[in-house]
Amino acid sequence: MPDAISLRCAVLSVSSPHGAARDGAGELLAARAEAAGHSVVRRVCVGDDVGAVRRMLSDCIADPEIQVVLSSGGSGFVRRNAVPEAAAGLLEQEIRGFGDLLQHLAYSAVGSTIVQSRALAGYANGTLIFCLPGVVGACALAWDRIISAQLAIAPRKNRLQTA
C-alpha cells in the first residue's frame, strides 16, 4: 500500500440557494476530504449556469494550488442542470465507469431514479475532477465507496505529485 498523500481540494457547490456554508453535500465533501488528510483550499458556490460552472471549473483547473475538484449539484436530468456539459468540454480524459459505478452502488438505496444521475469524473491539466449529485447521501456514498480510495492511489505525476 503506498504512503498516504495529502491533496489540495476545491469544493464547488452548484445551485445552492443558501451558499456554500449551508450546502449539506458540499459540507460533507469538505469534511470528508479534511478527515482523510487532504486540505480544502477553496469553497465556492455557483449558480447552475453552464457558463458560470465552466468558468469556475476552468479557474480551478488553471490554479496550480488545486489538485482535486469535488463538485456537488447540477448533475441531474433536468434542463437547468448543466454541470456535465460544462465539465465534459474541459476534461482531457474521462474516468469511464465512475458514474456507472455510483449508479450501481446507489440503486439499492434509491431505486431506478438513480439513472437520472449524470455524475462523471476525469482529468484536466493534471487536476482530478469529480462531478457529483447535490444529494448528501449520494456524495457520502461516492466519497466512501469510490473517491477516497481513488485519491489514496492518485497517480503521482503532474500536479498530483507530492513534494
pLDDT digits (tens, 9 = 90+) for 16-60: 555 555 678 899 999 999 999 999 999 998 887 888 889 999 999
pLDDT attached to residue 163: 40
pLDDT digits (tens, 9 = 90+) for 102-125: 888 887 876 676 666 778 999 999
Reduced to 3 states (helix: H, G, I; strand: E, B; else coil), residue 38 is coil
Select from 135, 106, 142, 98 the least CA-distant residue to 14: 135
Per-residue cell: 106: 446507489
The neighbour count for residue 37, using CB atoms within 10 Å, is 12
Total-model pTM: 0.85
Select from 23, 82, 20, 16 the least CA-distant residue to 54: 82
